[in-house]
Structure 1
C-alpha cells in the first residue's frame, strides 16, 4: 500500500514538474551537423540529434560510408559477424551503421553495432515527428553494464531522410557522409563556462554510481582548469516543489523543506526506512553553500574536494550521511561550518530560500539552452552536453568550447587530442625553430607567430616575415642569408621591414629557393667597363684590375695614373691648405687694424672734447660711459 501511495505521488510530482517545464521552457534537442557527400541525389545537410550516451566527437569530425543490415535492421541482438567493419567495398572508410528504431533500448542498438565494427550509429526514426534525444535506460542494472562500454557516437535521424538513404543503398549506390561536431558547442572566447547538474543522493541506482565515479575521476582536470582561470564552473541541483494541495501530506513533509517549496525524491522510495528526500535536499543546499563560501575565499575548486570527500566519508549505506559528517569534511578543507550554516538559512521557515529558488529558476531553459530535466547533466557554454559521463569525453567537450589558439595545456595533451604540428609542421610555414603551426583542440592553425616581441606577417602557409626593430635577430627575419669564405651577406636590415637583397645580389630576398643570387658584374657589364679594366667576378662583388700600372677608382669606375694622380692630388691639397692659411692671416690682420684704429679715434676725440666745444657730445658721452 505504501509503495502504491509513493508511486502515485511520484507520478503526480513528475506531471507537475512537466507542467511547470512546459509553461516556462522546453527541452532542447542538441544536434550535430550531418552532411551527405555522395551520391549526388542526396548531397546536402541534414538534421540529426546527438544521443545522450556514448562519446560524441566534440570538436571533431568523422567521415564514413553508410551500411544498413537487412538481416538485423533493428540491431537488438548481437551480430554473428561484423557487417560494419571497414572493407574493400567501403574503400576502407569507417562505417556508419544505419539501424531502425524499435523493440529495444537505443543504447543496446548502438552497443551491438559497435561490437560489429561500426565507428558511429545513426538510428532511423520509425515515425514522422520532431527529433528527440535518445537517452540511456534509467535504473536498469543490466543495461548499465553495456552503456558504460559504448565508446562511439550516435544520433537519431528523421524517417524521411532515413528512407532516402535506404533507397540509395537499395540501388547499390555508395552513401558517404561527414558527421561534424565542431560547432555542436559554442566556442566564442578563451574561457569556457560550464555547469554540472548533480545530486548528493548516493543510493539512486546506476545513475548515482556514474555521477560518483565521474566526480572522483574528473576532479583533477576540473581543478586545473579552474585554478588556471580557464573555466568558470558552477554546480547545480535539481529540485521541485510540492503542489499546495499536498503540503500537509506525509510525502511532502518527508521530502520537502521550507513548507513544501523545495523537494527531492526519497532515496529508497520508502518513507519507513533509511533517509528521506528532505535530508537529500538539505545536503544539496549545503553543497551549494560550500561552493559559495569557497568562492568568496577565492577557492571555488574546493567544491570538488568537498563532494569527493563527502561521498567517501559520509555514504548513506554506512549511515553517516548528514550534517555531523558533512561539517567534519568542511572543517578539514579549512572552511568555517558556521559560514556554510549561515548561507543555508532557516530550513523550517515558511518562506523562500534564495539559493534554492535560484536553482529552480535556473532549471528552466533560456536561449539555446533547454530545460534541465535529466540527471546528471552538463551544460557547456549554455549548450547541454550529450554523451557519456566520462572524464575523457567531458574533457574533450569542454576543450571544444575554447576559441582556437586559446586552448589550455590540458586540452593539448596526448590523451585528449592529436598534435598535427608534429608532422611536417602541419603543412604550415617554418624556419628553424620558428613555425606558424599552432596546435588547437580542433586541429592545427597556420598563423604567423609572435617571437620575442617581434611579429611575423604573412599567410602562415608559405610565407611569414618578421617586422619591427630586432626582427633580424629571429631567424634572420625570414630573409635570405649566406656565408662563403668567411664573408656573410643578408637580405634582412633592422632599419627597414621586409627582405631586400644586398648590393651585388638579385632576387626577392626571401629565405626560399630564389633568395638572393650573385650578380656577375663582368657579364652584365655593369662595372669595370673602362678600356684599361680587367674584370673578375667574385661572390657578392667583383675585382677590377687596371693594366699599365694604372689605379682603379671604384667610385667612378675608371683607371688613372698612380704617379700623376698622386702628384696632382698632393699639390692640390698643399695649395688649398696654404691658400686657406693665407686667407685666415690676412683676414685676421685687417680686423685687428680696424679695431685698433677705431679705438685710437675714440680716445683722441675724448681728449679734444675737454679743451674745445664740439658740435655733438654724443660720442664723448658714449666714450665716458664706456670708461666708467
Structure 2
C-alpha cells in the first residue's frame, strides 16, 4: 500500500472508530430464571448475542450441562464423539461453556452441531455484561456465521461458577430463558428502523443485508400497507476530521465538504468506487423513501432497494445515478423530486436528510447509539441476533401488545397455537363452539370473547356468560332452557341484567337446571274452597265446582249466572237511559226551534198587513216603529 493510501486508511479508521468507540452502546438483555436447585433459584440477567436466533416473545426451558472436555467449545464435539441431543422424554440441553481462546460464534457453532438447544457462555472476568458479536470483517468469511440458529446468552462469572459448583455436586440445574420482555410491546403498532448501506462490496455482512431485504420484503410490505408497522430506513455516515477535509482521502470518501463520509467499498483507494459514491447512493435511497412516503407508498422502498441491488451492482460497474434513475422510473416515482431532495453534494452546506440521519445515530431513552452495521431497532430497542426473515419477523411480532398482533404473526412457522391443546386451559362451550382461549404471539390468554356483538363476561378460565340485550341469541346466554309438551321456557333474561333467573313456575340456579314448582302441592295457588287444582309443567290449571267461574287474579270462584244477569241488566239500563235522553233532547229542540220561527214570521208579516191578533204580537224591529 502506498504511503498516501496508508494515511488515508488511517484517517478513515480514525473517524470510524470515533463513531464506534465514543458511542453509547447498550447491551441488550433477556431474563434467565433458575428453577432448580433451591440454592440458585432466582432471576438473573444475561446478554443476548449478536448472532443466532433469540426467541423474542417466547421462552425456552432446559437443563444445563457443563462438558468434562472442550469446556471452551473451541473444538468440534463431534470429533470428541460427544453429543448433547435431547433424548426422548428429556429436557433440551443448555450447554455451559467458558469464555476465551476462540470467537463466540465458533463456540455457538460447535455447540449447535453437538445437538444442544442453546449456549450459555460464562464470562472469565468480573465486568458488566457485554454483547457477544461476530468476528471483524477479515475473520468474518466463515461459512457457518449465517447458519447459527440456536440462541446464545452471556452470563457473569459469578453465576457461571455457582452453576458449575452445583453440577459438580450432582445436582440438576434447570433454567428458563425468557425473551418475552426483551422488546417493548406497548400497543397495536410496531415502529422499527433498519440501519443499512447501499454498498454491496463489504463482504458477508453486505451480502446478508441484501439477502435479508429480498427475503423480508413481502412480509414488510404487508405489515406496512395494512398499518401494522411504521418502518424507516436509516443510513450511517461519519464526518471527516476538520484537519483532513482537503485531503485526497477525505475528498474521495465524503460529500458536502467533509460532512458526510463512508469507507471505501474495497478498502483500496486506487480502484473501484469511492466512499462518496456510497454516500450519494445512500442519500438517493433515503430520498426515495421520503418521496414514496409523501406519495402514500412508503413500502416501495423495499422494491427499490431490492431492484437496485440486482440491476446496479458495483461489480458490473452499474452503481450509478443513471441505473438508479431507471429503477426509480420503473416504480413510478418522480425522479425530479428525488434529485431536488439529494441537492448539491459539492456544496459547503448541510444536507437536511443526511443531517437528520447523523442526529438519529445518537440513542435516546433505552436505545443506545447505532454503532453496528446493519442494525435493526424495534420499538426503540436494538435487535440482537441473526439477520434472518423468520427471526426478525418473530422479533417484530413480539413488539405488538398481546392479542393485537396481525395474522402473519400467528402462522405455524412463527409460533405455536397453545389453544389447540386442551383449549389452553380456558373456558369453553363445546356445543356452541365458543372459547375464551385467544392465541397471541407470547402465548395464549384466557379472555371471555365477543361474538356477533354479544360480550361474554367472566374470569375466562372457569366461566364466561353472555351479557347485554342480545345475549339470549347465543347459546341461550349460558342459561337453562327446556321444552316439554310443546311449551318452551328459558332462564335467560334478554336485557342488560346479569345472570340467569328461572322463569315463574320454576326454581333453580337458572344455569344448570330449573325444576317445575308444583303450585298445587305447595298450596301456592288455587286455594279457594270451591277450587280444584291441577299442576302443569311451568304452571297450573284451576277449576271451580258446580257452575262457578274461576277468577285467576283474585284466586276465587264466582257464579256465572249472577255475573251474566248483572251484566246484561246493567247494559239494558244504560241503553234505555241513553234512548230516553236522546228522545227528550230531540223533542225539546224541535219545540223551541218551531216556537221561535213562528214568532219571527208573525213579526215580519205584521209590518205589511193587519192581522186579527196584531196587538198581541210583540215588535221585533230594533230600529223603532215605522
How many angstroms apart in 1 are the aligned matches of 2:530 and 2:169? 88
How many angstroms apart in 1 are the aligned matches of 2:449 and 2:27? 40
How many angstroms apart in 2 are the aligned matches of 1:168 and 1:590? 121
How many angstroms apart in 1 are the aligned matches of 2:74 and 2:578? 117
TM-aligned CA distance change 1:593 to 1:222, over 3 Å: same
Q: How much does 1:576 deviate?
A: 3.4
Q: How much does 1:220 deviate?
A: 0.2
Report the counterpart of residue 251 of structure 1 in structure 2. Answer: 249
Q: How much does 1:178 deviate?
A: 1.4
Q: How much does 1:454 deviate?
A: 3.0
For the pair 1:567 / 2:561, whether they are aligned, the reply is: yes
How many angstroms apart in 2 are the aligned matches of 1:425 and 1:601? 100
Normalised to the residue count of structure 2, the TM-score between the two structures is: 0.88
Aligned CA-pair RMSD = 3.2
When structure 1 is superposed on structure 2, of 122-131 and 10-19 the one drifting more is 10-19
Report the counterpart of residue 278 of structure 1 in structure 2. Answer: 276
CA contact (8 A) 1:141 1:206 kept: no
How many angstroms apart in 2 are the aligned matches of 1:179 and 1:602? 116
How many angstroms apart in 2 are the aligned matches of 1:84 and 1:440? 32
What is the aligned residue count? 601
When structure 1 is superposed on structure 2, of 196-205 and 523-532 the one drifting more is 523-532
Normalised to the residue count of structure 1, the TM-score between the two structures is: 0.87
How many angstroms apart in 2 are the aligned matches of 1:433 and 1:419? 17
Report the counterpart of residue 487 of structure 2 in structure 1. Answer: 487
SS at match of 1:86: coil
For the pair 1:173 / 2:171, whether they are aligned, the reply is: yes
Report the counterpart of residue 182 of structure 1 in structure 2. Answer: 180
1:58 equivalent among 56, 59, 62: 56
How many angstroms apart in 2 are the aligned matches of 1:10 and 1:473? 77
Report the counterpart of residue 603 of structure 2 in structure 1. Answer: none
Q: How much does 1:448 deviate?
A: 2.4
How many angstroms apart in 1 are the aligned matches of 2:359 and 2:353? 10
* Structure 1 unaligned blocks of 5 or more: 607-623
Q: How much does 1:502 deviate?
A: 1.4
When structure 1 is superposed on structure 2, of 591-600 and 203-212 the one drifting more is 591-600
CA contact (8 A) 1:81 1:116 kept: no
Aligned ranges 1:449-468 → 2 under 5 Å: 449-468=449-468
Report the counterpart of residue 502 of structure 1 in structure 2. Answer: 503
- Per-residue CA deviations over 1:6-43 (Å, capped at 9, x if unaligned) read 565445444444445666x5101111011112222211
How many angstroms apart in 2 are the aligned matches of 1:433 and 1:528? 45
Report the counterpart of residue 394 of structure 2 in structure 1. Answer: 396
When structure 1 is superposed on structure 2, of 7-16 and 477-486 the one drifting more is 7-16
SS at match of 2:29: coil
Report the counterpart of residue 418 of structure 2 in structure 1. Answer: 420
Greater gyration radius: 2
SS at match of 1:568: helix
Q: How much does 1:71 deviate?
A: 1.5
Q: How much does 1:78 deviate?
A: 1.6
When structure 1 is superposed on structure 2, of 253-262 and 386-395 the one drifting more is 253-262
SS at match of 2:304: helix
Report the counterpart of residue 314 of structure 1 in structure 2. Answer: 312
Report the counterpart of residue 444 of structure 2 in structure 1. Answer: 444
Q: How much does 1:523 deviate?
A: 5.2
2:354 equivalent among 352, 356, 365: 356
* Structure 2 unaligned blocks of 5 or more: 601-621
Q: How much does 1:143 deviate?
A: 5.5
CA contact (8 A) 1:6 1:269 kept: no
SS at match of 2:444: strand
1:235 equivalent among 230, 233, 258: 233
SS at match of 2:366: coil
- Per-residue CA deviations over 1:329-351 (Å, capped at 9, x if unaligned) read 00000012111111001001111
Q: How much does 1:522 deviate?
A: 5.1
How many angstroms apart in 2 are the aligned matches of 1:587 and 1:424? 85
SS at match of 1:355: helix
Report the counterpart of residue 202 of structure 1 in structure 2. Answer: 200
CA contact (8 A) 1:100 1:125 kept: yes
- Per-residue CA deviations over 1:336-382 (Å, capped at 9, x if unaligned) read 21111110010011111111111111111111000111111100000
2:112 equivalent among 104, 108, 114: 114
SS at match of 1:46: strand
Report the counterpart of residue 473 of structure 2 in structure 1. Answer: 473
Q: How much does 1:588 deviate?
A: 6.6
1:216 equivalent among 197, 214, 228: 214
CA contact (8 A) 1:256 1:277 kept: yes
Q: How much does 1:582 deviate?
A: 4.9
TM-aligned CA distance change 1:433 to 1:589, over 3 Å: farther
Q: How much does 1:525 deviate?
A: 4.7
- Per-residue CA deviations over 1:68-122 (Å, capped at 9, x if unaligned) read 112121111121445533358xx72222221111111111111222222222211
TM-aligned CA distance change 1:590 to 1:416, over 3 Å: farther
Q: How much does 1:546 deviate?
A: 6.9
Aligned ranges 1:577-596 → 2 under 5 Å: 577-582=571-576, 584=578
TM-aligned CA distance change 1:51 to 1:536, over 3 Å: farther
